[in-house]
């Protein structure tokens, strides 16, 4: 029975990974966007998940399906570890669960973050740095106070606060992060958090979701140690393995999988950040999952303090990077936008060099983002009663407050065509302004009647170009003769654009503040 029950960890982890990928739920970007762009989309999903659990967990405990337990609270460790964790999220581009599920969506950089997290947590939990962790914990001692210390039934505190929080959130604007709204993401995450308690109680594990314990156990297992398959270790490990599995299913649903391969220096950065995540979580006795999504719904003091410290660390790095971006060069001597990766010393991907003219001879024709006119609403995908229009005519009226720009490069793979040059210069200027930039490469050869089913002479391989752009740090969606997965029906086309990966592109456009074509 216990061997079957431990599979509950895999079920919960897979569900979490799927929801997080579909809802683009990661508290690294969630906290950072809150302070740099006043975009509360992902934070609202977090607090809705907390509210759902506050309303439901008293019933779970009352029915005897699980017993309440609270994360340990070491005040100094919570503050120091939380700050370290929050700062480290910037380096790994993800939180503890975020780096895990992103591996399933094709991010090889996240693999480095996972490796660093496992190493950092193991060093501080069971390795040579355990003494340092214990010393930090001993500075302020342990605090045993929790929500049950008042002598009142737990529901007396949780249900009213959860109801107030849910009502407040539901009165706010509905926006999207990823393919889902924050309401759907938060609701489903909350339900998964509730289900984690009774499923883990089947193996006498009286707790909800957590990451660090499983990361340490998985490291020990890889090093040859024995971990009971039917106990805590098995449940926690399977929860972690379920995260990338769920994200993989979600990513496949969104379109063809693409591997994201960062530059070597980015690998090192994410690995170092992962070590910081593991160390910070060990010092704080938990992370954004164990504290934020499990302890906070029970009003655990240590979880509340740790989550506040993580937010503070993330906010500090967010403000710092925003200040650095504003100091970056915005234009050359002629006042035109300049790409931070062309004439300023950083290398341009090799595939682009085949298409770019010399730096001095390539005028920038793109308008600055601030001067773009507000586009019209995005039409229904199969709506064909209107005349075809350019992609920059389309935008969903309820776009997120996040300043996100989708750049569509039509016919990119031809020699002598400098539109990619213009697009990347515009992308660089947008990045310097702190905006999110996505690039869609659309080979006109897939449009009916335009070209023969053979790439023209001199074409650059679109798949190679896509990989190089992704390695350059841009989020890329590409479709053309060189790629699979682009054979969609007429009803899945956006008029005036063509057949490309329209499901992905339409999702990008719907979440963008500006859409620009080249």
Task: Give per-residue pLDDT as tens, 406-437.
Answer: 666 655 544 444 555 556 656 655 555 556 67
Banded pLDDT at 171 (limits 50, 70, 90): confident
Is residue 43 predicted with pLDDT exceeding 70?
yes
Banded pLDDT at 306 (limits 50, 70, 90): very high
Q: Lowest-pLDDT range, 78-87, 225-234, 239-248, 418-427?
A: 418-427
d(CA 117, CA 218): 11
Other CB atoms within 10 Å distance of the CB of residue 388: 11
pLDDT tens string 243-253? 999 999 998 88
pLDDT at position 396 = 26
Is residue 180 predicted with pLDDT exceeding 80?
yes
pLDDT at position 411 = 53
Residue environment code for 154-193, b if the CB has 16+ CB neighbours within 10 A, otherwise e: bbebbbebbeebbeebeeeeebbbbbbbbbbbbbbbbbbb
pLDDT at position 44 = 93
pLDDT at position 60 = 95
d(CA 372, CA 9): 48
Average pLDDT over residues 56-60: 95
Of the candidates 295, 316, 287, which has an alpha carbon nearest to the alpha carbon of residue 81? 287
Q: Which residues pair with 405 in a beta bridge?
A: 437, 514
3-state SS class at 49: helix
pLDDT at position 339 = 31
Banded pLDDT at 457 (limits 50, 70, 90): very low
Is residue 109 predicted with pLDDT exceeding 90?
no
Is residue 284 predicted with pLDDT exceeding 50?
yes
Other CB atoms within 10 Å distance of the CB of residue 227: 16
> Which runs of consecutive H residues, i.e. helices, occur in 416-501?
419-432, 462-471
3-state SS class at 160: helix
Token pair of 397, please?
């009226």
Q: In the chain, what is the greatest distance between 2 CA atoms, to the nearest angstrom?
A: 79
d(CA 395, CA 514): 7
Q: What is the pTM of this model?
A: 0.65
Other CB atoms within 10 Å distance of the CB of residue 231: 15
Of the candidates 254, 217, 233, which has an alpha carbon nearest to the alpha carbon of residue 126? 217
Average pLDDT over residues 157-176: 88
Burial class (CB in 10 A: 0-12, 13-18, 19+), 147: middle
């Amino acid at each position: 029975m216990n061997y079957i029950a431990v599979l509950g960890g895999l079920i919960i982890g897979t569900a979490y990974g799927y929801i997080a990928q579909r809802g683009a739920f990661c508290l690294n970007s969630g906290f950072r966007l809150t302070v740099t762009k006043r975009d509360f989309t992902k934070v609202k999903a977090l607090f809705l998940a907390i509210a759902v659990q506050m309303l439901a967990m008293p019933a779970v405990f009352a029915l005897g399906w699980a017993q309440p337990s609270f994360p340990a609270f070491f005040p100094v460790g919570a503050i120091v570890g939380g700050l370290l964790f929050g700062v480290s999220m910037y380096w790994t581009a993800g939180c503890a669960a975020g780096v895990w599920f992103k591996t399933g969506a094709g991010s090889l950089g996240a693999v480095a973050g996972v490796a660093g997290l496992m190493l950092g947590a193991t060093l501080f939990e069971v390795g040579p740095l355990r003494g340092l962790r214990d010393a930090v914990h001993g500075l302020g001692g342990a605090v045993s106070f929790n929500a049950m210390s008042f002598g009142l039934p737990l529901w007396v505190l949780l249900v009213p606060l959860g109801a107030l929080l849910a009502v407040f959130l539901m009165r706010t604007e509905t926006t999207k992060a990823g393919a889902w709204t924050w309401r759907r993401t938060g609701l489903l995450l909350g339900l998964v958090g509730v289900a984690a308690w009774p499923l883990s109680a089947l193996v006498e594990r009286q707790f909800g979701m957590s990451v660090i314990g499983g990361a340490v156990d998985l490291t020990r297992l890889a090093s040859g140690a024995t971990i009971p398959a039917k106990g805590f270790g098995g449940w926690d490990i399977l929860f972690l393995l379920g995260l990338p599995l769920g994200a993989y299913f979600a990513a496949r649903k969104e379109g063809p999988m693409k591997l994201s391969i960062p530059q070597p220096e980015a690998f090192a950065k994410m690995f170092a950040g992962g070590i910081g995540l593991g160390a910070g979580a060990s010092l704080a006795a938990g992370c954004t999952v164990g504290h934020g999504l499990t302890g906070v719904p029970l009003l655990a003091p240590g979880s509340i303090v740790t989550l506040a410290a993580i937010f503070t660390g993330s906010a500090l790095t967010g403000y710092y990077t925003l200040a650095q971006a504003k100091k970056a060069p915005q234009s050359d001597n002629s006042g035109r936008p300049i790409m931070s990766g062309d004439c300023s010393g950083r290398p341009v991907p090799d595939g682009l060099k085949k298409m770019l003219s010399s730096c001095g001879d390539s005028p920038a024709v793109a308008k600055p983002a601030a001067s773009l006119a507000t586009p019209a609403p995005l039409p229904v995908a199969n709506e064909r009663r209107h005349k075809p229009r350019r992609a920059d005519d389309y935008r969903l009226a309820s776009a997120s407050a996040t300043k996100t720009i989708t750049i569509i490069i039509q016919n990119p793979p031809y020699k002598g065509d400098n539109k990619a040059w213009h697009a990347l210069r515009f992308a660089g200027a947008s990045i310097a302004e702190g905006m999110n930039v996505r690039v869609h490469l659309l080979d006109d050869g897939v449009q009916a009647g335009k070209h023969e089913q053979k790439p023209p002479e001199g074409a650059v391989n679109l798949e190679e170009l896509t990989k190089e752009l992704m390695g350059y740090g841009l989020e890329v969606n590409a479709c053309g003769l060189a790629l699979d997965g682009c054979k969609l029906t007429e009803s899945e086309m956006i008029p005036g654009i063509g057949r490309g990966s329209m499901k992905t592109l339409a999702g990008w456009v719907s979440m963008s503040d500006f859409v620009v074509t080249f």
